[in-house]
Amino acid sequence: MMIMNENKYYYQLDILKGLAIISVIILHTIPIYLIKTPIIVFSILTAVPVFFFIMGLNSSMSFRRKNYFELDQLYSKSYFKGRFKRLIVPFIIIFFISLILGILLKKTIYLGLMIFIGYLPLSGPGNYFISIVFQFVIIFPLIYYIYQKNPKLILALSFILSLLFELFANNISILMNNSFLYASSILRYLFIIVLGIWASENFRIDNFSSLIRKNFVILGLFMSITYLIIVSIFKYKLIIFQQAWQPQIVLSFFYPFILCTFALSYLPSNSLNKVSQIIGSLGRASYHIFLVQILFFGSGISLYKFFIYLGLLNSLNWYLIAIIILIINIIISTVLGYLFYLFDKRIIQSQF
């Protein structure tokens, strides 16, 4: 049986990232009261955990491919240079575009201390994700190093730390009320990142059934599905956790873990058809698209107001309008994000 090969390019991951970034745009378009409905919770709300699972898996395979196991190798100059080019440079560009856009639109501009952890001058939905990505760059090599020494320990420890953070966050004032500091903490996603490392070294991609027969996976999946049913179908609010993020805490992470491993086993491994080509392309540009959609939604541009201006609200069905707005938001965010990706790749990156 074939464990994941660090020297192989898995096109399935591009498709997964493409689906995840489309899901993010949908989440930031639909009304907030729909976010915790079962169909959303069990589908597109898994987008961000999916991203962090893939980041853990990809980074682990990258270190293994280079035979990096010691801290001086993991925290090398080439590691930080690569991450600076791929992550920090696009962010810096978006940062200044955000500042200019905020001034032009006469929005409230933020230039406080949180800009150093990735908070944009003109912030928008999902800005917290960028902050966690920066934290990931700093602490992942250490996580990987400890994992190589004792995999079971770091799996258990990451789960416990994530759970403790969720419990304490609801009792610490600076983390309460859906604060940015809470949302942007990597401790929220530590366990799903470690599951990504585990999958890179243990998941047999040609035998998905062997995974779901493992005792810890069975118990974990049962826990996650039970928890998600409680907070979505039964709409039960657990007062020990932050209200806004309850469907997306550590107790739920075995579910996106299974979705990702299932996708790795059964999604197309190549780009032979047009649909997989398009989604895969969006996946490769997903970081740039994520940055662009933060600005798009943060700018306050409302297609709903545009429909009012055209006088179409009375002549068109509301559901049809909602679908049209959703499609337009996806097209604008993905097209602009993909163009930004091409600009960064072909012009900016060539300067380094």
Token code pair at residue 165: 């953070």
Nearest to 186 by CA among 130, 228, 242: 130
Express each pLDDT in 114-168 by its tens digit: 999 999 999 999 999 999 999 999 999 999 999 999 999 999 999 999 999 999 9
Token code pair at residue 226: 């039970």
- Report how far apart, in Å, the C-alpha atoms of 247 and of each of 132, 221, 242, 253 are: 18, 14, 10, 10
Whole-number average pLDDT of the chain: 93
For tokens 């709903």, what's the residue?
304
Across 331-338, average pLDDT: 97
pLDDT at 13: 97
pLDDT at 305: 67
Q: How many angstroms separate the CA atoms of 33 and 134, rounded?
A: 30
Place 313 in a pLDDT band, splitting at 50, 70 and 90. Answer: low
Express each pLDDT in 24-60 by its tens digit: 999 999 998 899 999 999 999 999 999 999 999 999 9
* pLDDT tops 80 at residue 177: no
CA 199 to chain centre: 17
* pLDDT tops 70 at residue 198: yes
What is the DSSP secondary structure assignment for residue 31, as one 8-state letter?
-
Place 272 in a pLDDT band, splitting at 50, 70 and 90. Answer: confident
Is the overall model pTM greater than 0.75, yes or no?
Answer: yes
Whether residue 129 contacts residue 51, with contact meaning beta carbons closer than 8 Å, is answered with yes
Which residues are CB-neighbours of 166 under 8 A, at least 6 positions away? 188, 241, 242, 249, 250
Place 215 in a pLDDT band, splitting at 50, 70 and 90. Answer: very high
3-state secondary structure of 204: strand
pLDDT at 348: 79
- Report how far apart, in Å, the C-alpha atoms of 148 and of each of 198, 214, 290 are: 10, 21, 31
Across 181-192, average pLDDT: 96
End-to-end CA distance of the chain: 41
CA 82 to chain centre: 20
Across 275-302, average pLDDT: 95
Give strand pairing partners of 3: 204
pLDDT at 227: 98
Across 242-270, average pLDDT: 94
pLDDT at 110: 96
Q: How many angstroms separate the CA atoms of 152 and 198, rounded?
A: 10
Rg (CA), the chain: 20
